[in-house]
A and B are shown apart, each in its own frame.
Chain A
């Protein structure tokens, strides 16, 4: 069965700091990878996704993620965070014909 782990439960950064959130998955076959964001009191929204091709994927709001197949990782990055990036971030994986598996989430707090 697939599983997803996220390295940090809660990350606290100051504005303009760089961000990297870790995500690792366990599945030996081909997977599709996603990052979702949940702003306080809101539903989940898609940040970016990777299916194939260039392992560096760019998403909305300046986020990007790098797929490293050998490490089963799909880390999320942003060069300079803003207070408005305060949210919970979920990594998710699936392969065709299977449901999504979500990680436990990482809460990001950005201090102004």
Chain B
């Protein structure tokens, strides 16, 4: 089925470890983004991309890196995990342009990350 695929669904990390959350979409969407969801705070934008080779920071980028080498993939890297990064992470995409305005976002199913 077409959509946004996130892996893994669950992950436990130790403080200081690094890892990559994967996000792939097969809808040829230009816009992709990463959000973290924390109780009472809604969704906060970490990083986003308006096309292959183009990325930019969102509201809470510290501690995370992204790259966009292809239209399909937008991985999120945690460089040195901290307990404050315990959260649920959602990847979202939209096409063709306008940051999701025209069509809204298609969300992935999320990754629940716990850092101990």
Q: Check if A100 sits within 8 Å of B42, measured CB to CB.
A: no
Which B residue's beta carbon lies closest to that of A46?
B104
Find A100's partner among B40, B100, B110 (CB 8 Å cutoff).
B100
Main secondary structure of the interface of B (DSSP, over half): mixed
Selected contact of B107 from candidates A4, A44, A99, CB within 8 Å:
A44
Q: Which of B77-110 contact A (CB under 8 A)?
A: 90, 92, 98-101, 104-105, 107-110
Mark the stretch among A12-20, A65-73, A75-83, A89-97 that contacts chain B: A89-97
Residue of A nearest to B45 (CB): A99
Is the pair A90, B43 in contact by a Cβ cutoff of 8 Å?
yes
From B41, B48, B100, B101, give the contact of A104 (CB < 8 A).
B41
A98–B99 touching, CB < 8 Å: yes
B108 to A100, Cβ gap below 8 A?
Answer: no
Contact of A46 among B101, B105, B108 (CB under 8 A): B105
Interface residues in B, total, Cβ within 8 A: 22
CB pair A43 B45 closer than 8 Å: no
- Residues B110 and A90 in contact, CB atoms below 8 Å apart: no
A74 at the binding interface (Cβ < 8 Å): no
Q: Is the CB of B40 within 8 A of A9?
A: yes
Contact A43 B107 (CB under 8 A): yes
Within 8 Å of chain A (Cβ to Cβ): is B25?
Answer: no
Count chain A CB atoms within 10 A of each CB in B40, B44, B101, B107 and give the residue with the most.
B101
> Given A98-B99, A99-B33, A104-B42, list of 8 further CB < 8 A pairs?
A36-B104, A96-B99, A99-B99, A102-B35, A102-B43, A103-B42, A104-B40, A105-B42
Sample of 16 A–B contacts (CB below 8 Å): A36-B105, A43-B109, A43-B110, A44-B105, A49-B104, A90-B42, A90-B43, A94-B101, A95-B101, A96-B98, A96-B99, A99-B33, A99-B58, A100-B99, A102-B44, A104-B41
B residues apposed to A, CB below 8 Å? 33, 35, 40-45, 48, 58, 90, 92, 98-101, 104-105, 107-110
